Amino acid sequence: MIEYAEIGITTNFSFLRGGSHPQDYVHQASELRLSAIGIADHNTLAGIVRAHSELENPEIRHRPKLLIGARIVFIDGTPDILVYPRDRAAYGRLCQLLTRGKLGDGTEKGECLLKFSDLLEFAEGQLLVLALPHRFEAAAVVDILERLKHGGADGIWLAASLLYRGDDRRRLAQLHRLSLSAQVPLIATNEVLYHHPARRPLQDVLTCIREKTTIEAIGTRLEANAERHLKDASEMARLFRDFPGAMAETMRFASRINFSLDQLKYQYPDEPVPPGKTAQRHLEDLTWAGVEKYFPGGASEKLEATLRKELALIEELKYAHYFLTVHDIVHYARSQGILCQGRGSAANSAVCYVLGVTSVDPTKVDLLFERFISKERLEPPDIDVDFEHSRREEVMQYVYRRYGRHRAAVIATVIHYRPRSAIRDVGKALGLTEDVTAALADTVWGSWGDGLSEMQVKQAGFDPHNAMVVRAVDLATELVEFPRHLSQHVGGYVLTQDRLDTYVPIGNAAMADRTFIEWDKDDVDALHMMKVDVLALGMLTCIRKCFDLIALHKGRRYELADIKSEDDDEVYQMLQRGESLGVFQVESRAQMNMLPRLRPRTFYDLVIEVAIVRPGPIQGDMVHPYLKRRKMDPEKIEYPYPKGGNKDELRNVLHKTLGVPLFQEQAMRIAIEAAKFTPEEANGLRRSMATFRNLGTIGKFGDKMVGNMIARGYEAAFAKSCFDQIKGFGSYGFPESHAASFAQLVYISSWLKYHHPDAFCCGLLNSQPMGFYAPAQIVGDARKNGVEVRGVDVSYSFAQNTLEAGSGKYCAVRLGFRQIDGFSWKDADEERLKRHQASLRDAASTSPFRDASVVELFPQARFTSPYGGGEEAAMPSTEDARLDDWAERIIAARNRRSFTSLEDFARDTALPKRALILLADADAFRSLGLDRREALWAVRRLPDDVPLPLFEAATAREQPDENAKPLPLMPLPEQVVADYQTIRLSLKGHPMQFLRSMFAGERVVPCRDICHRHDRLSVRCAGVVLVRQRPGSAKGVVFMTLEDETGIANIVVWPKVMEKYRKEVMGARLILIEGYIQSSPEEVTHLVAQRMFDRSHDLLGLASDALRKEPAPIGPGPAEPLNDDRRDHPENPAQKIRHPRNVRVLPPSRDFH
């Protein structure tokens, strides 16, 4: 039997080169019964873990040996060399070689700059294969081979491959002679670019994308045929029949490699502990100290037993150092005044609570510690900690400093092709015009399943049967989920005891002072490496800023723990009304609609509120049964049980959720209790929840779980709904502990919104961008709740939005210079970070790595602030620093003296002309007696350069007195439009109020009236599109939020209507919707769309004289029957001009999917 090992495989992790996933090669090699496959991607090891993991797939019957290597591409002209490590030590040297190329001076993210001399330095233990280009000089090749022989490598080969260009026999003979003269064996390879010939067209497109050209223009840079695929042994033997030794050499090569990723024995770093203590003892001491802090009256027997059980398991699994790391990071953040809170499965741990890592009180929520750590699973714990998003970088830099860059790095995120980017890149490669690709891309929302529908192609204006369009759509669909490049994870760190760059290559990130490894979260999990997640959460930034404002203006300092979730019925009543704009996790339209139905009255109700609007409960049809049971007498609630079996079998599992499973933990326990899964099977089910979306592994559990439950006497509908729910968790589901962590922030943000709407509004504005709603809606909601909001003004505003003395119950919010689009200002948090990083760089040695041993032992000795106490200390202090901070220059000038005129202002601040124009356009000179138009006129009269005082008087005499000429007042509609164009909101009015008379003639009702119309009544409504949302759990339904001068309206767009009016749904800024009312007993009202009309062009008239003209008819007119099925009128002006979104009247909507 002929045997063959393919050593020259390029996967799609050689970005824009390889045409197949690593997993594809594993399956194809198994089908072809190859003895071994060698993956050698270009200067990277990014795809090897996926191939390694796929070999464990039970569907793989024949398991080829996996050879792990890299194709080193040099910058000095040296031909490519395939490098395969023989053992663990050589693998570490390969990682270090790649790290050198990725971390060198001047190396940008994604680059790997290596010279031949670098390879020689790390050649020990490597098997090297020289891969020559089509044309080469024999003398130069012999010189390279001789240098390699003296470089310490364990073996050297010369690659022999067929190029299928007509001269292969001559080329192979030349390579054979070269190998004999250099005494280097020839080894066969097909230089594989894709696993199957069918992938050749896609690989051609990838080449065009990489070369930034089209199929028509690329010429000979494409492969000549579809032969660069994985071939079986007999085919390769036929091709190399004249050189059988090259075939045999592949097996000798594979046999010399003894390395597998299973040999990576990960060791977590040892944490420094006080003298005479072990890490476990130190953790136990910190734990019991935490008990005294959080439970001054002493821990209950139940809590004490829980803590002892957890500590014993932590000791058994040797995780004490990991807990100490997280405690240290959290302690550092709090010492710097940075809010933080742990979440996820870690919230199941009582130890995490008393260490101050999480906020879920173990005495109030039933914890499932096994969901976090289990010795049966033998998986490392995973603690996620959220930090303020504006100050998270300080914490990340602390981690680098604490462990050194040779032992700590952020994990990667693989950026995949999504439908929009795929159709754009494929379209360019095929030579389609930008207009064509943009039109096709604009019909895509989120993932598109199997491809673009014919309706979408038609709506883009193309023939769905056109061969080129069909080709583009098919190739783009194939390209979706291909890796495009690596980026850094949002905050997951890998830490190691020894050098991290002996496990995986490390590279520079795009951000300064950041480095990240080549493996992503799934790769790290597959290799059982422990990670610490230092995540960013915008709401924590908002809460901290609210607390600061309350302390400054109201004299009360709050911390997260001070706000108790049981204290305030009024807060819950606010939520029951669905008044949750800006509130963490419950501000989406779906959550706002759920709040009046669920009517939360307790903290645990908030836990359920967070979790229930998720794919798991929705796909499992659990939402309506749960809401129905909330209205029932608790004594009459029946819990599912097997026919003829124990009626209380699932009571303990489901009693808190009234017999309806809503959480991951419950799904797992049902599998154990009702389907009688073994702990190992339940663990496999849990793991499949996390991987379902990408791998589809959860399906294999379905038949067994449903079948077992039915066999034991459960109703088939209940069994199926339980498993459907589990599949939903695979998309995005919350464990109970995670929901409980988030519910804490739901209550705190709700409490702030109710009791301090002024500070809440200000904090939200200063934390943008975040959340569902734009500044205009945040300000509108605050004003509705009695908060006065004042405009940007050079005499009163600061960089950030601030609070001032108000005339009513609350402080007034003064808009800051940050609200002006394009205006230069600096965030105090960013300035603090820059100063912090500068201090670290000054203190660091010249070595790129800092040894962690220089860090002091006790944490309290480490936390001296590098930037002083308050916000003011973080502001730039030198003149140079203020030159590009226009806001700071205004504040500094205002501190010297008050402004009396625009001319005084311009002279005192020395702002550039552009800054003055932006301020005038934002109507920021009102305190100087100038409205927007007057200010713009006055600014344009100023000289471009600030005059010296000596020449000021002369200049004033020479300028004509144009102030004497009164300017006509700017009409209010133009004022409102100008506000939106400069500060993205208006305090003077709403664009819709100026179109109301026109829409009234078309029988369009205000948004406010939608809530007061009868169920099923047909109505028309029009408004500005605020939010578009297409959640994955909604089965294609789109939810839109419209706003006019009276309020908002919630729109439901069913899939068939969405397909018909896709262009309007996705493109309109101002839309008219015709449909019918759908209302519930809980007074939740929607407008179900039937017809939709893009009226964006009407906005253009607000800023011109067009408003005074008769509007052009579009959509249904007042004389038309309400349900007429015509869509567009021939004279629709929106079809004659470029879409008005390109002339920005309003900021774009916020779209979610």
pLDDT tens per residue across span 1120-1132 = 333 333 333 323 3
Count Cβ atoms below 10 Å from residue 470 Cβ, excluding itself: 16
Q: Return the pLDDT at 1148.
A: 75
pTM: 0.84
pLDDT tens per residue across span 484-521 = 999 999 899 999 999 999 999 999 998 888 899 999 99
**Mean pLDDT, range 847-852, rounded to an integer:** 33
pLDDT tens per residue across span 322-344 = 999 999 999 999 999 999 999 87
The region of weakest confidence among 316-320, 830-834, 902-906 is 830-834
Q: Which residues neighbour 180 within 8 Å (Cβ) at sequence distance 6 or greater? A: none
**Mean pLDDT, range 773-798, rounded to an integer:** 96
With vertex at residue 873, the alpha carbon angle to CA 867 and CA 874, rounded to the nearest 5 degrees, is 70
Q: Return the pLDDT at 24.
A: 97
Strand partners, 1082: none
Question: Quick one: which of 514, 530, 522 has its CA closest to 102?
Answer: 514
The full set of domains in the chain, from first to last, is: 5-195+230-263 (3.20.20.140), 279-414+487-538 (no CATH), 565-749 (no CATH), 760-826+876-964 (1.10.150), 990-1152 (2.40.50.140)
**Mean pLDDT, range 572-576, rounded to an integer:** 96
Count Cβ atoms below 10 Å from residue 227 Cβ, excluding itself: 17
Inter-helix orientation angle 716-732/699-711, to 10°: 150
pLDDT category, 1109, cuts 50, 70, 90? very low
pLDDT tens per residue across span 1059-1091 = 889 889 988 999 999 999 998 776 778 999 999
Say if residue 965's pLDDT is above 80.
Answer: no
Say if residue 611's pLDDT is above 80.
Answer: yes
- Residue 388: both structure tokens together: 């303020």
* Cis peptide preceding 769, ω within 30 of 0: yes
Say if residue 684's pLDDT is above 60.
Answer: yes
C-alpha to C-alpha distance for 657 and 666, rounded to whole angstroms = 10
Q: Return the pLDDT at 619.
A: 56
Using DSSP's 3-state secondary structure scheme, residue 1091 falls into strand
Q: Which residues neighbour 346 within 8 Å (Cβ) at sequence distance 6 or greater? A: 352, 357, 358, 372, 381, 382, 383, 384, 737
Most confident of 637-646, 688-697, 834-843, 856-865: 637-646
Say if residue 1142's pLDDT is above 60.
Answer: no
C-alpha to C-alpha distance for 672 and 665, rounded to whole angstroms = 11
pLDDT, greater one: 1019 or 366: 1019
* Residue that the structure tokens 């203190």 belong to: 843
Q: Return the pLDDT at 1118.
A: 34
Q: Return the pLDDT at 1134.
A: 32
**Mean pLDDT, range 408-414, rounded to an integer:** 95
C-alpha to C-alpha distance for 572 and 574, rounded to whole angstroms = 5
Reported as half-sphere exposure (CB side, CA atoms, 13 A), residue 78 has a value of: 25
- Residue 30: both structure tokens together: 């198994």
With 0-12 / 13-18 / 19 or more C-beta atoms within 10 angstroms meaning exposed / middle / buried, residue 841 is exposed
pLDDT category, 377, cuts 50, 70, 90? low
- What is the chain's Cα-based Rg? 33
C-alpha to C-alpha distance for 416 and 75, rounded to whole angstroms = 27
Question: Quick one: which of 446, 419, 424 has its CA closest to 435?
Answer: 424
**Mean pLDDT, range 595-614, rounded to an integer:** 91
* Residue that the structure tokens 């039933």 belong to: 366
pLDDT category, 729, cuts 50, 70, 90? low
The region of weakest confidence among 355-364, 383-392, 607-616 is 607-616
How does the average pLDDT of the chain come out, rounded?
85
pLDDT tens per residue across span 172-218 = 999 999 999 999 999 999 999 999 999 999 999 999 999 999 999 99
**Mean pLDDT, range 577-582, rounded to an integer:** 94
pLDDT tens per residue across span 274-297 = 999 999 999 999 999 999 999 998
Say if residue 981's pLDDT is above 80.
Answer: yes
Q: Return the pLDDT at 165.
A: 79
Share of the chain above pLDDT 90, in %: 60
pLDDT tens per residue across span 822-838 = 999 887 655 554 554 45
Say if residue 219's pLDDT is above 80.
Answer: yes
Distances (CA, A) of 1003 to 189, 231, 1090, 1111, 1117: 73, 69, 16, 15, 8
pLDDT category, 1033, cuts 50, 70, 90? low
Q: Return the pLDDT at 59.
A: 85
C-alpha to C-alpha distance for 680 and 368, rounded to whole angstroms = 17
Question: Quick one: which of 149, 161, 155 has its CA closest to 129?
Answer: 155
Question: Which stretch of DSSP H or E encloses residue 1008?
Answer: helix 1007-1010
Dihedral sign, Cα of residue 572, residue 574, residue 575, residue 577: positive
3-state helix, strand and coil shares in percent for the chain, rounded to the nearest 5? 45, 15, 40
**Mean pLDDT, range 656-670, rounded to an integer:** 84
Q: Return the pLDDT at 697.
A: 58
With vertex at residue 374, the alpha carbon angle to CA 368 and CA 379, rounded to the nearest 5 degrees, is 125
Say if residue 915's pLDDT is above 90.
Answer: yes
pLDDT, greater one: 990 or 880: 990
**Mean pLDDT, range 911-935, rounded to an integer:** 95
Q: Return the pLDDT at 869.
A: 33
Q: Are 247 and 238 in contact (CB under 8 A)?
A: no
Say if residue 958's pLDDT is above 80.
Answer: no
Share of the chain above pLDDT 70, in %: 84
pLDDT, greater one: 528 or 26: 26
Q: Return the pLDDT at 615.
A: 59
